[in-house]
Amino acid sequence: MFERVLADAALDDLTRVREITQAYRHRVLLRCDPQAMAAHTGSTPTWTPR
């Protein structure tokens, strides 16, 4: 999904690229930290692909 969203983005739009990258990084970090994932479960996502 990350690759598809990034491929669809205008790469010269640095703000959008940073937004996508940070969302992906956040998702990866949550997967690596079970306590963070447990705290996050049930909350509303703050980022969705356009």
Cβ(47)–Cβ(23) below 8 Å: yes
Q: Report pLDDT digits (tens) over 3-34.
A: 888 788 888 889 988 898 888 888 887 777 77
Those residues with Cβ within 8 angstroms of residue 2's Cβ, 6 or more apart along the chain or in another chain = 20, 24
Cβ(36)–Cβ(28) below 8 Å: no
With a cut of 70, say whether residue 50 has pLDDT above it. Answer: no
With a cut of 80, say whether residue 38 has pLDDT above it. Answer: no
Ramachandran sector of residue 42 (left: φ over 0; alpha: ψ -120 to 50; beta: rest): left
Alpha helices in the chain (DSSP H): 2-8, 14-32, 34-40
**pTM score of the predicted model:** 0.53
